[in-house]
Structure 1
């Protein structure tokens, strides 16, 4: 359980959530102090979450992920997300997975694959080419070029959030832009959902929502080619993501 504290200021309201994970919890070495802040800027239609974590005693892998489902048509609309248009202008590489959906350690270009969203495409346009899981993979949040060399420090790609994805739902006119400091982003479209009880009595079926989970690369602890996610005592893990909303 996290300890919660609400704060506010000119044009925003926020909640800070704090937790100390003891050494050995879930098998992780060392104690870890974690703080998660959600900040809503009402005058800008922006939602920001910021995560910091400081290890005490031992170095430990840290990759804290916010797992939000979105449906721009409305969570209780009964509509799926296959008509949502997605654009990832900087993600020209991804980390392929094996049959267990765990990244293999490779970093491959998206060009010529159904995973290419460097130009806008609807989610359903090529989903049948992606196998039974549909879209459930990690994208690299930077252009890498032909050498596929990833530039990263301490598990984070940048100090300031940069634009990594835009989602547009034509029927409602709703748009969402996603900015982050994280090096990776898991794109998931709810292909394994069957019947999930949701808010207000809504029932969520297959493809009822999509996720854009900003993160370090999954399986980084086992892959030397991926950015290092071990945080040492005296260092601080920092992860910030901003959602901007508008209509067009």
Structure 2
């Protein structure tokens, strides 16, 4: 039976920062803050039955305000980069916050990851977060009513569901930005993790990490994970796109299937396997290329390739690419997205 414990851990802008810890009967724990819906801790067992934390996060709240590269957070209103920090929608122009060069990254400087959400415990011990994103928050049009649901199951599966409705046409593309290291030991990098992806196409990037608009075949590239291989095999390649990504991966891959074991990560030493299934069209695979030695996480100095992210979402910068699947949300529609994280051990 999944149980949820709550604890007030800090204050922020006059509001309480509340920590929720979900536990199932196997021993898995998932700890989430109402600030940014951030997953701060997520334990999974190794082949010896030992549960260890397999995500990056801080032990205290304060570093999340100034140091966190989106550790474990819900991202929105639009995940990824929006070129030129502006867009047109229904004949109107909207200016956004340019928080990465001339681009908007992950919703701007004060995206969903920097907001206090209202947390409640729903039926069947679901953890439900809600908030209202007002019209022109971060420059985005429309008042958006949001819901994010975390559901920990008895088989060591975590489900995350997203919902949103708007009062005028807007764009939405949400994801979770957890950083995974399946070793359970952050002194070890993820380059020896093995990845298999049901993705026959990927989105090449320009030098500013904005998609070019092309859907390229993975055949013969570092992005071909249709058969299982180590991250190192791609990171160490001379593929030009790997260099653009910062000597690693920071690219959207187009999923060929949904809810059919389309993303599988394995760590051979611990035996941990993470299978990710989703209804989203793509996954942004980031191999921690920008993690320089400028902070400490659980006693370990951050380093390049300390962790990997697998951000299930629609295509980044879709508002500027008519050929990409649309991220537009109309008042008559409900935005819905769902991703399932399944932990097993070999």
Query: Partners in 2 of 1:133 and 1:122 — Cα distance?
Result: 15
**Secondary structure of 2:131 counterpart:** strand
Query: Partners in 2 of 1:242 and 1:221 — Cα distance?
Result: 26
2:144 touches 2:166 (CA, 8 Å); kept in 1? yes
**CA distance 1:8–1:79, change in 2 (3 Å):** farther
Q: Residue by residue, what CA displacement relative to the aligned partner does 1:63-121 show, whole Å, maximum 9, x if unpaired?
A: 012111000001x4310000000000x20001111000100111011001011000111
Q: CA deviation at 1:197?
A: 3.8
Whether 2:216 is the aligned partner of 1:108: answer yes
Which residue of the partner structure matches residue 49 of structure 1? 160
Runs ≥4 residues deviating over 2 A: 195-204
Which residue of the partner structure matches residue 190 of structure 1? 288
**Secondary structure of 1:126 counterpart:** helix
Pairing partner for 2:249 from 135, 143, 146: 135
Which residue of the partner structure matches residue 83 of structure 1? 192
Pairing partner for 1:38 from 142, 150, 154: 150
Whether 2:242 is the aligned partner of 1:174: answer no
State the superposition RMSD in angstroms.
1.5
Query: Partners in 2 of 1:44 and 1:196 — Cα distance?
Result: 37
**Secondary structure of 1:36 counterpart:** strand
Query: Partners in 1 of 2:298 and 2:252 — Cα distance?
Result: 31
Whether 2:197 is the aligned partner of 1:99: answer no
Query: Partners in 1 of 2:223 and 2:230 — Cα distance?
Result: 11
Q: CA deviation at 1:163?
A: 2.5
Which residue of the partner structure matches residue 6 of structure 1? 121
Q: Residue by residue, what CA displacement relative to the aligned partner does 1:177-203 show, whole Å, maximum 9, x if unpaired?
A: 000000010000101101354554343
Which residue of the partner structure matches residue 153 of structure 1? none
Which residue of the partner structure matches residue 212 of structure 1? 310
2:235 touches 2:247 (CA, 8 Å); kept in 1? no
**CA distance 1:5–1:167, change in 2 (3 Å):** same
**TM-score when scaled to structure 1?**
0.87
Query: Partners in 2 of 1:162 and 1:22 — Cα distance?
Result: 36
- Asked which structure has the greater RCO (Cα within 8 Å, sep 6+), the reply is 1
Whether 2:344 is the aligned partner of 1:235: answer no
The more displaced of 198-207 and 13-22 is 198-207
**TM-score when scaled to structure 2?**
0.63
1:162 touches 1:181 (CA, 8 Å); kept in 2? no
Unaligned residue ranges in structure 1 (runs of 5+): 144-157
Query: Partners in 2 of 1:108 and 1:84 — Cα distance?
Result: 25
Q: CA deviation at 1:7?
A: 3.1
Unaligned residue ranges in structure 2 (runs of 5+): 1-115
